[in-house]
Each structure stands twice: as structure tokens, then as C-alpha cells.
């Protein structure tokens, strides 16, 4: 016999089927819709509207493509070749924009409307992503974005730091491509559109440039009272994003500001004045 209070039990039972207004209902409703479409082996499109317009395309119950007006789409062409690496890289080039768009649609809690079945999928060749894996990946990304939220979000303005603090430094090709494009009003999202890369991966790369103290973010500049950030940002950890004690996804939307405990957001092991 359950020891849960009656109200909690009723709320759990109805969470996935009742369109209530509580904050955690959106994820449950969407997961239920996705699982239903997957179980039915559906082919067609699930349109979204609201904070971010877009759509998620299904083929035989798997997600093959997603688009959002707030994230770049896949590249026009993919490298041809027969090595496993090239095949995997091509699949990743298609999958990453789909995961990025899905994450954006879910994070902004865009409204999904009636599923429109289709006889033929939008693509026969795009790699199919399992619903369960995709939802887990989106939840993981939301937790990572929550870690970054105190210092940078996809919509934070960033600026180059003019003075190098070390005599030598090395950046990757991608980091260099980002650095030379940073100008007044640049955000990770605008840079992602310029480079045709996912917003999530661009935000992470900007974070890495913050850690190298090559750029600063508006959040950092505000926090440091207008001075150049002397200390690096809070530590980002992929492990913390998948650990069992990771915060629940509904607390981490950077669009609404993080509601994580302050202790989780403080710089770890840093030597800064706030550490």
C-alpha cells in the first residue's frame, strides 16, 4: 500500500495525461506524447508554436529531424566517404541540429499541437533517434546549461578581452572562428547562426573561451562591477550533469533564470574573492 498522501498520489497518476498548469506537467505531457508516437511507430510531424516555432519529424516511431526558429539547421552538404568515422561524423552532423532544436523547443516550453501523420517521411536516410535517448540527452543539456547560467547563457552578450593574461595561449580552429566573429552585441546564439553550428555546442565553446579568459560575458561583467573578469567562471562538469543527484530539469531553464541552490553555482576550488 502506498504511503504517499492522497493528493500526491492523484497528482502523479494524472501528471502524464491531464493538461494542468503546474511547472512540471509540460515535460510529462511531452514525454507521454513522444512515447505514444514511438509506440505506434508513427510517421509524420508534430508542430510546435509559442516562444520558439518549430516541428519534430517522426519516421516509424523514431525522431529523424527537428527544426526550431531559434537554432540553425543542418549543414547543406555532408562529407562523402566510406570510413566509419566519416559515416559517424555525417550522422552526427544531422543529429546535432535535431537534438539542439528539440532541446530549444522543450526548454522554451513551446506548445505542441496535433500530430500530423504522413505516408512518407521527410527523409529516408537521416539517422533515427530513439525517443528515450533523445529525452535523456535534452535533460542532460538542460542541466549543463544550468551550470553555465550564472556566467553565460545562449543569449548572453559576450565581448573579447583585449589583454592576454598569459604570454602564449592556444585555441582550437573553432574557438578562433568564434573569437574573430565576436563584436558588439554578439551572443552564443548569434555566433551559432553565423557559423551554422548548434547553439548548445557554441554556448559550451564560449564557456571554454571564458575559462581561457579570452572573452567575458555580460553576466560576469555585471557581477564584477564593470571590471574585466579576473577569475574564471564556475566549473562546468559533464559528470555532475548525469550524476543521480543532478538537479531536476524543471529547475534549470536558463530562459527563466536558474533556481538551483546558490551552493551549486559557486566557483569550485577557485581563488577568487567569492570562492
Partner 1 sequence: MILSEADTLLAPVTQIDGFVLACLVDASTGMVLASRQNQGEISLPTAAAGAADIAHVLSLLAGQLAMNEGLEDVMVTFSDHFHVIYPVSPDPEARILLLVVLDRARTNLAMARREIRTFCMNFAS
Q: In sequence order, what are the residues at sequence separation of 6 or more whose Cβ sits closer than 8 angstroms to the Cβ of residue 198? A: 71, 72, 96, 97, 99, 100, 192
Residue 95's closest CA among 45, 142, 57? 57
134 contacts partner 1 (rule: CB under 8 A):
yes
What cell does 108 get?
522554451
Percent helix, strand, coil in the chain, to 5, is 40, 10, 50
91 contacts partner 1 (rule: CB under 8 A):
yes
Q: How far apart are the first and last CA of the chain?
A: 47
Alpha carbons within 13 angstroms on the beta-carbon side of residue 179 total: 18
Minimum distance, C-beta of residue 225 to partner 1, in the bound complex (Å): 26
Distance CA 242, CA 137 (A): 10
**Contact call for residues 150 and 258 (beta carbons, < 8 A):** yes
Binding mask 202-241 for partner 1 (x = CB under 8 A): --xx--x--xx-----------------------xxxx-x
Q: In the block, which residue shows the cell 494524472?
A: 14
Minimum distance, C-beta of residue 20 to partner 1, in the bound complex (Å): 30
Measured over the CA atoms of residue 20, residue 26, residue 27 and residue 33, the dihedral's sign is positive
144 contacts partner 1 (rule: CB under 8 A):
yes
99 contacts partner 1 (rule: CB under 8 A):
yes
Distance CA 104, CA 92 (A): 18
84 contacts partner 1 (rule: CB under 8 A):
yes
Exposure string for 150-161, b = 16+ CB within 10 A, e = fewer: bbbbbebbbbeb
Nearer residue to partner 1 within complex by CB, 137 or 264 = 137
128 contacts partner 1 (rule: CB under 8 A):
yes
Binding-site member from 243, 272, 274, 275 for partner 1 (CB under 8 A): 243
Nearer residue to partner 1 within complex by CB, 163 or 173 = 173
Binding-site member from 168, 184, 245, 263 for partner 1 (CB under 8 A): 168
Nearer residue to partner 1 within complex by CB, 25 or 143 = 143
Nearer residue to partner 1 within complex by CB, 25 or 96 = 96
Binding-site member from 33, 140, 223, 224 for partner 1 (CB under 8 A): 140
Q: Indicate the SS3 state at residue 240.
A: helix
171 contacts partner 1 (rule: CB under 8 A):
yes
Minimum distance, C-beta of residue 206 to partner 1, in the bound complex (Å): 12
Distance CA 218, CA 187 (A): 10
Q: In the block, which residue shows the cell 533517434?
A: 129
- Which of 10-18, 35-43, 123-131, 181-189 is the region at the interface with partner 1 (rule: CB under 8 A)? 123-131
Site residues, partner 1 (CB under 8 A): 83-85, 88-89, 91-92, 95-96, 99, 127-130, 133-134, 136-137, 140-141, 144, 166, 168-174, 198, 200-201, 204-205, 208, 211-212, 236-239, 241-243
Amino acid at each position: 500500500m502506498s504511503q504517499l498522501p492522497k493528493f500526491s498520489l492523484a497528482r502523479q497518476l494524472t501528471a502524464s495525461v491531464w493538461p494542468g498548469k503546474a511547472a512540471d506537467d509540460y515535460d510529462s505531457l511531452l514525454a507521454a506524447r513522444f512515447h505514444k508516437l514511438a509506440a505506434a511507430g508513427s510517421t509524420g510531424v508534430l508542430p510546435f508554436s509559442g516562444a520558439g516555432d518549430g516541428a519534430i519529424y517522426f519516421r516509424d516511431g523514431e525522431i529523424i529531424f527537428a527544426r526550431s526558429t531559434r537554432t540553425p539547421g543542418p549543414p547543406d552538404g555532408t562529407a562523402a566517404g566510406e570510413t566509419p568515422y566519416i559515416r559517424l561524423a555525417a550522422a552526427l552532423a544531422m543529429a546535432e541540429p535535431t537534438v539542439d532544436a528539440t532541446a530549444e523547443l522543450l526548454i522554451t516550453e513551446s506548445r505542441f499541437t496535433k500530430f500530423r501523420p504522413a505516408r512518407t517521411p521527410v527523409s529516408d536516410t537521416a539517422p533515427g533517434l530513439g525517443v528515450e535517448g533523445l529525452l535523456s540527452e535534452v535533460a542532460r543539456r538542460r542541466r549543463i546549461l544550468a551550470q553555465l547560467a550564472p556566467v553565460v547563457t545562449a543569449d548572453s552578450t559576450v565581448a573579447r578581452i583585449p589583454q592576454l593574461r598569459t604570454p602564449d595561449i592556444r585555441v582550437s580552429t573553432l574557438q578562433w572562428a568564434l573569437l574573430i566573429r565576436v563584436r558588439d552585441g554578439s551572443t552564443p546564439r548569434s555566433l551559432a547562426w553565423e557559423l551554422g553550428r548548434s547553439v548548445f555546442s557554441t554556448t559550451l565553446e564560449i564557456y571554454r573561451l571564458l575559462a581561457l579568459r579570452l572573452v567575458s560575458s555580460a553576466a560576469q561583467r555585471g557581477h564584477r562591477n564593470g571590471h574585466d573578469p579576473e577569475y574564471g567562471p564556475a566549473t562546468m562538469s559533464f559528470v555532475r550533469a548525469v550524476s543521480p543527484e543532478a538537479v531536476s530539469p524543471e529547475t534549470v531553464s536558463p530562459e527563466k533564470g536558474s533556481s538551483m541552490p546558490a551552493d551549486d553555482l559557486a566557483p569550485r576550488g577557485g581563488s577568487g574573492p567569492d570562492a
